Amino acid sequence: MTAFTASFCFFFLVYGVAAGFYAGRFFGGRTIEQRFVELVDEVRTGRRPFETDAHRVSGRLAKWISDKLPKPRLESARAQKLSRNLIRAGILKPEAFYEVQFITVGLTIAGAICGYLAAASLDLDAPNPFLFSALGAAAGFLTPTYYLRRKARSRQQAIATELADALDLLVVAVEAGLGLSEAIKVVGEETERQRQDIGREFSLVSSAMSAGATMGEALRALVQRTSVEDLRPLVATLIQSEQLGSRIGPALRASSDALRERRRLRAEEAAHKMTIKMIFPLGLLVLPAMIMVSAGPAIIQLLRILVH
């Protein structure tokens, strides 16, 4: 049996097992006529039957598999690190931790299978298939963590970029006569409507204060939740202004100006680093091509002269 035939048979075997599991688990002996009656009822009630079924089936499948898997220890260092990455990435669902665990296990198994099939299709001898399988499993295991870290880093950069403009809106709201808590709520709703990450964080701060937390506790939770360095001096200024009873408008304006200056300095630093970073692609990619184009014909002619 060739590698292609083995892969083909394996695919249909997995497909048959999945289809049988789906039919036995979710239909439970229902006839086709009963299922069509349910679809008609869903259409009459205004729901989307196929989209709802897809979400229901995937949710039940994920819940059933997560119940069968061993529960991770939430007090372990890896679980706490994963929870911090989820919060920094803006994923605050309670079940997100178990979903990431489920995705990690699924990608690890899929990576191991794909690595083994790739080695088998290349007709590699042992132990190369097992080495490819181990590499695929490692890639599948590390992919969710890598994705969460990149998402958290990009979200932190977006919050740091949007913070200065949000502070300008806070200054306008405070100088218009609103209190700081009400200004945070208004600015959070407005920026969240514009799909900005800082708007969601301000909305969470407003919700925490509405639930009974003090402004200092809500703002400290904001810093811990986002881990954005630009928020630390701003939060310290706001808490100090609230405790001392001083005017918040000038403090917010000074913080906004400092953030814009810091952002300008970061942009200039990135521009200065760009000249250094361009050396490596120029030296490794552009320069060899230029040498090949300019000196290549002369080298070929010289080789012809030396050979003859």
Average pLDDT per consecutive 10 residues, the chain (308 residues; last block may be shorter): 57 60 50 50 47 52 61 68 83 78 84 83 72 87 89 88 85 83 87 86 88 85 85 82 76 82 85 85 83 84 81
Cβ neighbors of 53 (< 8 A, separation 6 or more) are none
How far CA 292 is from CA of 70, 71, 187, 303, in Å, comes to 59, 59, 58, 15
Cβ neighbors of 169 (< 8 A, separation 6 or more) are 187, 190, 191
pLDDT value of residue 293: 85
How far CA 50 is from CA of 40, 42, 58, 61, 165, in Å, comes to 11, 10, 12, 16, 42
Is the separation of the CB atoms in 242 and 248 below 8 Å? yes
Cα separation, 42 vs 35, whole angstroms: 11
Give the DSSP letter string of 37-65.
HHHHHHHHTT--HHHHHHHHHHHHHHHHH
Cβ neighbors of 54 (< 8 A, separation 6 or more) are none
Cα separation, 108 vs 144, whole angstroms: 10
Cα separation, 38 vs 51, whole angstroms: 14
What is the distance of C-alpha 264 from the center of its chain?
Answer: 27
Is the separation of the CB atoms in 110 and 144 below 8 Å? no
Cβ neighbors of 231 (< 8 A, separation 6 or more) are 159, 163, 222, 223
**Which pair of structure tokens corresponds to residue 53?**
């079924």
Q: Which CATH architecture has domain 155-259?
A: Up-down Bundle (1.20)
| Residue spans per domain, the chain | 155-259
Give the residue among 260, 228, 223 at the shortest CA–CA distance from 153. 228
pLDDT value of residue 47: 47
pLDDT value of residue 52: 46
pLDDT value of residue 124: 66
Residue recorded with tokens 């990455």: 85
Is the separation of the CB atoms in 105 and 122 below 8 Å? no
